[in-house]
Amino acid sequence: MLKLNNICKTFNLGDINEESIFHGVSLEVKDDDFICIVGSNGAGKSTLLNIVSGKLGIDRGSIILNGEDITDQVESQRCKKISRIFQDPSLGTVPSMTVHENLSMALNKGKKFNFSLLIDKKNESLFKESLKILDLGLEDKLEVDVSKLSGGQRQSLALIMSALTDPRLLLLDEHTAALDPKTSEIVMAITDRIVKEKKLATLMVTHNIDHAIRYGNRLIMMHRGQIILDVSGEEKKNLTKEKLLSLFKDVSDRSLFS
């Protein structure tokens, strides 16, 4: 479904701050892949998501989504096909707008802005049905401003919003990192349910090793702009925290000398 072919990316080319991050990274994501992405700070995890979402362009290589070459498409052209949720709950929703308005905005993503679309009540039952699966009572808060919701409720709303237009790919960038442990568990369980129900191919960056082990069918580890580990199937199911940490030590030690 998604193919990254030989991606090269250098920041601040020709500048004193020049930093070459990717030198020919390739990755193939299948339709039913839920991939957890782990790795050290500065490994390039968010940059990878920025490249897939179109927030950042690349210097060389190509990006193919369901057979379509999207390499030269900007973020706004990709946003109907690719949804993204960030660490900061306020980035995925508009706090000054109501739950209903946020959902209307998400449903009309990619369409020309028209205020009447935001207040159109015809999708109310669709919104209520979608919110019900969260089991957070948000279906009774359609007219409440999002700024009045908790961080967990906002991230859950962002998840519903991101799946509303049936994207082909979901990008989760440490989307539970700003939540307390209990809420983070709830949001992860909701994430897993939505990913499975909507059959979304998903790339999830996380520093939470427990989540990386428990969720998804595949795990990749990044280090210094390289994918140094890619496990799936039984191998992923059998991963333990200790095994993953020791694999990380092995492969990062090896990459220091390669």
Ligand X SMILES: Nc1ncnc2c1ncn2[C@@H]1O[C@H](COP(=O)(O)OP(=O)(O)OP(=O)(O)O)[C@@H](O)[C@H]1O
| Distance separating alpha carbons of residues 15 and 11, to the nearest angstrom | 9
Closest alpha carbon to 123 in 178, 150, 160: 160
Q: Looking at beta carbons only, is 21 or 195 nearer to ligand X?
A: 21
- Residue 46 CB, nearest distance to ligand X (Å)? 3
Provide CB contacts within 8 A for 97, sequence distance 6+.
105, 118, 145, 146
**Of 39 and 152, CB closest to ligand X:** 39
Task: Give min distance, CB of 7 to ligand X, in A.
Answer: 13
Q: Rank residues 39 and 89 by Cβ distance to ligand X and give the closer one.
A: 39
Sole residue written with tokens 């039984």: 234
Could you tell me the smallest distance in angstroms from the CB atom of residue 112 to ligand X?
A: 29
Site string for ligand X, 189-208 (x = CB under 6 A): --------------------
Assign 39 to helix, strand or coil: strand
Which one among 39, 152, 167, 216 touches ligand X, defined by CB under 6 A?
A: 39
112 burial type by CB count under 10 A (0-12 exposed, 13-18 middle, 19+ buried): exposed
Residue 78 backbone zone (phi > 0: left; psi -120 to 50: alpha; other: beta): alpha
- Range 226-245, binding ligand X (CB under 6 A): none
Only one of the segments 37-45, 64-72, 74-82, 159-167 lies at the binding site for ligand X (rule: CB under 6 A); that segment is 37-45
Query: Least distance to ligand X from the beta carbon of 21, Å?
Result: 5
Q: Which of these segments, 45-53, 108-116, 122-130, 150-158, binds ligand X (CB under 6 A)?
A: 45-53
Q: According to the binding rule CB under 6 A, does residue 11 interact with ligand X? A: yes
Residues 46-75 interacting with ligand X (rule: CB under 6 A): 46-47
Strands of 66-135, DSSP E? 68-69, 82-85
Coil, helix or strand for 180? Answer: coil
Shortest distance, position 13 Cβ to ligand X, whole Å: 10
Question: In 3-state terms, what secondary structure has residue 127?
Answer: helix
What's the min distance (Å) between Cβ of 172 and ligand X? 13
Angle, in degrees to the nearest 10, between helices 151-163 and 99-107: 30
Q: Judged by CB, which is closer to ligand X: 11, or 254?
A: 11
* H helix and E strand count, the chain: 11, 10
Q: Please, which residue, 43 or 204, has the CB nearer to ligand X?
A: 43
* Binding stretches for ligand X (CB under 6 A): 11-12, 19, 21, 39, 41-47
